[in-house]
Chain A
Amino acid sequence: MALKGLDIFKLTPKTNCKECNQPTCMAFAMKVASGAIALTDCPHMSAAALDKFASATEPPMKTIDIGAGECAYKLGGETVLLRHDKTLVNSNLYGICISADMPDAAIEAALTEMTKIDYERIGKRMYVECVYVKCNSDAVRSAEVAVKAVASGRVPVLDCADPDIAKSVLGAIKEAKPVLCGANAANWEAMNAVAKAADAVLGVSGADLNELHDTVEKLEAAGNKKLILDVGSVSIKDAFANAVEIRRAALKDGDRTFGYPSIVNLAALAPGDLVTQAALASIFTLRYGSIILMERIGYAEALPLFGLRQNIYTDPQKPMRVTPGLYPIGGANENSVCCLTVDFALSYFIVSGEIERSRVPVNLLIPDAGGYSVLTAWAAGKLSASSIAKFIQEFEIDTKIKNHTLILPGKVAVLKGDLEAKLPDWKIVVGPNEAIQLVKFLSTIN
């Protein structure tokens, strides 16, 4: 939030000494407000004034770094409540839960199931980023389990409200830059010391939003601004209300105390019920969960949730694109027909889905069409007979595919003549207008 000139003037010593090369402190303040010069150009600013300025110009929600090395992530830093208002910047993370009370075999099974989920979707690696470790009263055992979590190559999120145990567990894993959850109204001072010593982000919880607000204020006053707020596990309704209230207070009402990422433990909200946990994970992905924890995540959960997250965290100004190229679908080979669409991810998904449904092997050709839909790309000159011919040549489709049948989207049927002239050894077929008609169309083409 920008400070007004007058507010900045109040921070200056008001001596008009001109050392900043401005005639007066007021002139200086006005220039700082407009962004023309920096506050530090005045050598006489007090530390308190600099502090006040820094906190007044801070973004409404802090960006918190967690994890280390290859598993380092940024959380928070959002400026809008809904993606269409601008864009969401740091996507939420998902995690699974293990505990020091679980037998080793169960822990291994959970971690093995989790590490199996590792695939690519529209150019991004999909995997579970966090492992939540619930410590118990045995510090040695807790540390042992935490080490297993680190060994799985994910960010450990510790849950431990006992500062002594937390200290010893952190001692074993602090290189991983974990999150330490467990600070509350009663133990915040000791927990703060432990987290600071290990440079860990501190997770804060409260009996209700008032208590949480209070504790965060105390932690900030003690100099800790690396926090994550626990939305609680009193009830599903309460947790959702808290997640929304916290984010809304920070972004809409300028309450900086709540300007931190959140953590949601769905295993505690719907224990043993993976379907409800998945539904909740979906809601919290859209509405203000930053770290979302589930009992387990298998492919059944990962496929929809990771797809949803990838959709929601795209910049509305830049549609998702697929890499241009040749995509054989349904076991297509060099003797299968070719079907062409554009590199707009949505077009690709819908067309490839329909081709799969048809069970007809098809080579899907994706030229560079600027990331637009078929009609838009054509209107913008990004999809033309020459761009298609160039694509065929560049990607050596001529030699890679023996079946020279090319199905063109019905919406750009006008390109047929030109294309036949440019690709004389190809048979150009006009396909349907809508992807949904592809199944029927493909069943007749063979």
Chain B
Amino acid sequence: MPFIKKPRTLKPLGAVSIGTGERAVKIGGGNTLPLYFFDAKLSNPPAVGVELTDTAWDAAELPLLAKAYEGAATLAERVACAANMKGVDFVCLRLEGADPGGDNLSVEECVKLAQEAAAACTKPLCIAGCRSEEKDVELFKALAAALQGQNVLFLSAKEEDYKTIGAATVLAYGHKVAGESSVDINLAKQLNVLMTQLGIPKESIVMNLGGAAVGYGFEYVSSTMDRVKAAALEQDDAMLQMPVITQVATETWAVKESMASQADMPEWGDLEQRGIQMETVTAAACLASGSDAVILRHPVAVDKIAALVAALI
């Protein structure tokens, strides 16, 4: 007897568009379970973003990463390199310099940097803060005004600050915002409910469900995403149908597999190769679990993940 393939048609989810004109990119809007592109004609594939910070990477042991930014002296030049990297759909600028515990750049300085970056960026832009709650709120308010009309995605608003950030970015200037929750389907849903009650349209919200590097509690990430996607696609839960974006790089480049030098761990071998594989394996696992967009750092990971998504379509 032959195999009987069952039809599995699901309603496409809403997508969130970032950037403008021909350069705009849609995030989300899938009509299959994650990567099950053989189930139906695909409505929109997952997107791959590359992140950089306002300060250059410490690439002492990462020659391939350094090469990708070779000759780029200013932030604008580095953003241009990032945007032109093979496989990149959008660029994520992390304003680490704003951190009050670090360089503590003023809001004005950050606005200037972000404007330079935006001018040089040929792909849609996503802006992440410095993870200091008070500073990020101030920063996002000023940046939303300065980047008016560019349809930027801001990462991220949390339950504590969604009102201010949501109002300043989406309601005042029509940008997009990611709601960040910590690896819990109920918290994710609650934040979406709160944000929509504030008047933020569904089409302007993406979900940052939180992340982990593989090996570091990734089962929570993957099971949360499995459940979110099942709720969105199979149970038609409108408050979980927003696209999922995952900051893979910030997780994977902070674990010892991607940080311990070869001198410290000789048997582990080349540091850059380890970092690339840690990032690639985590990104692939996120995509298989339900990320509609992954943010990566290393050009090799970006290229390979983008090519893999293309191969699966």
A390 within 8 A of B: no
- Identify the stretch in B31-39, B147-155, B203-211 within 8 Å (CB) of chain A at 4 or more residues: B31-39
A301 within 8 A of B: yes
* B260: A residues at CB distance < 8 A: 356
Closest Cβ neighbor of B221 among chain A residues: A311
Closest Cβ neighbor of A275 among chain B residues: B304
Complex Cα distance, B287 from A352, in Å, reads 27
CB of A436, distance to nearest CB on chain B (Å): 8
- Identify the stretch in B10-18, B66-74, B120-128, B273-281 within 8 Å (CB) of chain A at 4 or more residues: B273-281
Instruction: Knowing A209-B5, A249-B3, A287-B288, say if A305 contacts B281 (CB, 8 Å).
Output: yes
B194 within 8 A of A: no
A286 touches B289 (CB 8 A): yes
A308 touches B218 (CB 8 A): yes
B2 touches A213 (CB 8 A): yes
B2 touches A210 (CB 8 A): yes
Closest Cβ neighbor of B226 among chain A residues: A82
Closest Cβ neighbor of B283 among chain A residues: A279
B308 within 8 A of A: yes
A349 touches B278 (CB 8 A): no
B269 within 8 A of A: yes
Q: Could you tell me how many residues of chain B have their Cβ less than 8 Å away from some Cβ of chain A?
A: 58
A300 touches B219 (CB 8 A): no
* B277: A residues at CB distance < 8 A: 274-275, 278, 300-301, 303-304
* B6: A residues at CB distance < 8 A: 253
Instruction: Knowing A116-B267, A275-B304, A278-B280, say if A236 contacts B311 (CB, 8 Å).
Output: yes
Complex Cα distance, B256 from A202, in Å, reads 41
A275 touches B219 (CB 8 A): no
A357 within 8 A of B: yes
Instruction: Knowing A279-B280, A303-B215, A311-B214, say if A353 contacts B222 (CB, 8 Å).
Output: no
The residue in A212, A286, A300 that gathers the most chain B C-beta atoms within 10 A of its C-beta is A300
* A381: B residues at CB distance < 8 A: none
B270 touches A300 (CB 8 A): yes
Complex Cα distance, B311 from A236, in Å, reads 6
Complex Cα distance, B304 from A274, in Å, reads 10
Over the window 202-233 of chain A, the binary record of Cβ atoms lying under 8 Å from chain B Cβ atoms (1 yes, 0 no) is 00000001101110010000000000000000
* B227: A residues at CB distance < 8 A: 84
Q: How large is the interface on A (under 10, 10 to 19, 20 to 34, 35 or more residues)?
A: 35 or more
Over the window 400-418 of chain A, the binary record of Cβ atoms lying under 8 Å from chain B Cβ atoms (1 yes, 0 no) is 0000000000000000000
A276 within 8 A of B: yes
* A285: B residues at CB distance < 8 A: 285
Over the window 282-326 of chain A, the binary record of Cβ atoms lying under 8 Å from chain B Cβ atoms (1 yes, 0 no) is 110111000000000011110111111011101010000000000
* B282: A residues at CB distance < 8 A: 282, 304, 308
Within 8 A of A (CB), among B14-64: 35-38
B101 within 8 A of A: yes
A241 within 8 A of B: yes
* B269: A residues at CB distance < 8 A: 298-300
8 Å CB contact of B273 from A276, A300, A306: A300
* A255: B residues at CB distance < 8 A: 3-4
Closest Cβ neighbor of A308 among chain B residues: B214
Instruction: Known pairs A299-B269, A300-B277; list 7 more (Cβ under 8 Å).
Output: A236-B308, A244-B36, A281-B281, A304-B214, A307-B215, A308-B214, A349-B217
Residues of chain A touching chain B, judged by Cβ–Cβ distance below 8 Å, are: 82-84, 116, 121, 209-210, 212-214, 217, 235-237, 240-241, 244-245, 249, 253, 255, 257-258, 273-276, 278-283, 285-287, 298-301, 303-308, 310-312, 314, 316, 345-346, 349-350, 353, 356-357, 436, 440
Of the A-B pairs whose beta carbons lie under 8 Å apart in the complex, a sample of 23, sorted by A's number, is A83-B222, A210-B3, A213-B2, A237-B311, A237-B312, A255-B4, A274-B277, A278-B284, A279-B280, A283-B288, A285-B285, A298-B273, A301-B277, A304-B277, A307-B213, A307-B214, A307-B216, A312-B219, A349-B217, A350-B217, A353-B216, A353-B256, A356-B256
